[in-house]
Amino acid sequence: MATNLRIDKERLWSSLMDSAQFGATAKGGIRRLTLSDEDKAVRDWFKAACEAEGMTVEIDALGNMFATRPGTDPDAAPISFGSHLDTQPAGGKFDGILGVLAGLEAIRTLNAAGYRTTAPLTLINWTNEEGARFAPAMMCSGVYAGEIGLDAALATTDNDGKTFGAELDRIGYRGTEPVGARRFGAYIELHIEQGPILEEEAKTIGIVTGGQGILWFDGTITGKDSHAGATPMTMRHDALAALAEVILAIEAIAFDHAPGGRATVGEVFALPGSRNTIPGTTRFKADFRHPDAAGLTAMEADLNARLAAIATRRKVEIDLTPVWRKDPIVFDPAIVGAVAAAAEKNGYAARDIISGAGHDAFYLASTCPTGMIFVPCAGGVSHNEEESTTEDECAAGAQVLLDTILEVDGR
């Protein structure tokens, strides 16, 4: 097994900065919504870069991209790694793409050294990890793992009524490979932590042992459009005032389930949308998180109870639609151990950590031995145009990714 292959820090950083052209925003962030023109552009760029490294790029029926580098043993189960190229509406330069480009940097390092692994290596871009435009998040790794239906995914619509399938066709990334047809010997994902722990504790590497659970709901509140001036306060069915109470109730549920509970309402709509018409219809999208499955279930029960009370008191109807539930996961001890060994070998300060954010690795964990590597991000801030990390931290993550791949290959 190779013992001292070193990734090229400048080459990795240059790729990351180069990729920021796709969906660059005026405030220095990235808007690269899944299946948008910006997503197509970065996919085309990524595909060309993989092919320039001698990899073959195959695409499945949901646009998941698989770039493969042959090993000496074509029958060995491929070792896979990667992440996602899509971003939040006002996202940053590192969420997702760091894991993809660090994987490409590992391939470039192996090519430059003329080193051939035993197992084939497959670098992956998972479609629609963010779930910002088409719910849920991690949608296409979820279909790959058999936990989300293919037809349901393709029929999902965005806020403009466009379907996932139509947008996939529009950007030319609906491949022919059945989703889930290929299986791997291992999957390793590098990602920024997106929280404050590593930076607060001056740790360079997060050895990710598992991830917390996620629960999403869509809600509709139906009151009655009426005149903002002529309608007495006691006669109103104000769907937006009711929504204001719902949002604070959702926040209160998270505090009631401290320290693990987390919740927010990230998107709202109010109709008909006129200052002097009392809103008769509002819609909202809610996100709950908890480290254990029972906590998610308890939060859902509290939500139903609180919404019923608000609906009665405010004389409105509140309809809640469960959109998605992903229970907490635990990563494979052998992969977690390989990440820890790689961090130790490079002398990086490291600690075990549970992922607060969701990742495609959460679904891969049920299909093959899976693990993750975290690096810090400034102030623990992510899903924000100011998201940042350093060249050294990206390089450390990429080095640990390469060494973990080699460690797994050497077993």
We find the least distance from the C-beta atom of residue 187 to ligand HGY, in angstroms, to be 17
358 binds ligand HGY per the rule CB under 6 A: yes
Count of other CB atoms within 10 angstroms of residue 4: 7
Of 64, 25, 71, the C-alpha closest to 43 is 64
Q: Which is nearer to ligand HGY, 99 or 131 (CB)?
A: 131
78 binds Mn ion per the rule CB under 5 A: no
Tokens of 20: 């920021």
We find the least distance from the C-beta atom of residue 122 to ligand HGY, in angstroms, to be 22
We find the least distance from the C-beta atom of residue 229 to ligand HGY, in angstroms, to be 42
Interface with ligand HGY (CB under 6 A), residue from 137, 143, 179, 365: 137
We find the least distance from the C-beta atom of residue 35 to ligand HGY, in angstroms, to be 15
95 binds Mn ion per the rule CB under 5 A: yes
Angle at CA of residue 340, ends 261 and 113, nearest 5°: 130
Residue 96 binding result from ligand HGY, Mn ion, none, given CB thresholds of 5 to 8 Å by partner type: Mn ion
Residue 358 binding result from ligand HGY, Mn ion, none, given CB thresholds of 5 to 8 Å by partner type: ligand HGY
Q: Which is nearer to ligand HGY, 300 or 403 (CB)?
A: 300
We find the least distance from the C-beta atom of residue 360 to Mn ion, in angstroms, to be 8
Q: What is the largest CA-CA distance in the chain?
A: 80
Q: Which residues neighbour 131 within 8 Å (Cβ) at sequence distance 6 or greater?
A: 137, 138, 139, 216, 324
Distance CA 189, CA 373 (A): 6
Q: Cis (ω within 30 of 0) for the bond into 272?
A: yes
Residue 137 binding result from ligand HGY, Mn ion, none, given CB thresholds of 5 to 8 Å by partner type: ligand HGY
Strands 281-290 and 121-125: unpaired
CA-based radius of gyration for the chain: 23
Residue facing ligand HGY at closest CB distance: 358
Side-chain-side CA neighbours of 333 within 13 Å: the count stands at 0
307 binds ligand HGY per the rule CB under 6 A: no
96 binds Mn ion per the rule CB under 5 A: yes
What is the side-by-side strand order in the sheet with 262-271? 262-271, 281-290, 213-222, 317-326
Tokens of 366: 């049920």
Residue 99 binding result from ligand HGY, Mn ion, none, given CB thresholds of 5 to 8 Å by partner type: none
39 binds ligand HGY per the rule CB under 6 A: no
What does residue 272 show for φ and ψ, rounded to 5 degrees? -80, -5
Q: Which is nearer to Mn ion, 96 or 219 (CB)?
A: 96
What does residue 404 show for φ and ψ, rounded to 5 degrees? -70, -40
Q: Cis (ω within 30 of 0) for the bond into 259?
A: yes
We find the least distance from the C-beta atom of residue 129 to Mn ion, in angstroms, to be 5
360 binds ligand HGY per the rule CB under 6 A: no
Q: Cis (ω within 30 of 0) for the bond into 196?
A: no
Q: Which is nearer to ligand HGY, 13 or 216 (CB)?
A: 216
Binding mask 96-135 for ligand HGY (x = CB under 6 A): ---------------------------------xxx----
377 binds ligand HGY per the rule CB under 6 A: no
105 binds Mn ion per the rule CB under 5 A: no
Tokens of 158: 């965005």
What does residue 385 show for φ and ψ, rounded to 5 degrees? -65, -15
Q: Which is nearer to ligand HGY, 141 or 399 (CB)?
A: 141
Contact 147, 136 (CB under 8 A): no
Residue 279 binding result from Mn ion, ligand HGY, none, given CB thresholds of 5 to 8 Å by partner type: none
Please give the C-alpha separations between residue 228 and each of 35, 63, 72, 223, 239, in angstroms, as whole numbers. Answer: 41, 48, 74, 14, 13
Residue 295 binding result from ligand HGY, Mn ion, none, given CB thresholds of 5 to 8 Å by partner type: none
Q: Which is nearer to Mn ion, 96 or 211 (CB)?
A: 96
Residue 393 binding result from Mn ion, ligand HGY, none, given CB thresholds of 5 to 8 Å by partner type: none
211 binds Mn ion per the rule CB under 5 A: no
* Residues forming the site for ligand HGY (CB under 6 A): 129-131, 137, 357-358
The footprint of Mn ion (CB under 5 A) covers 95-96
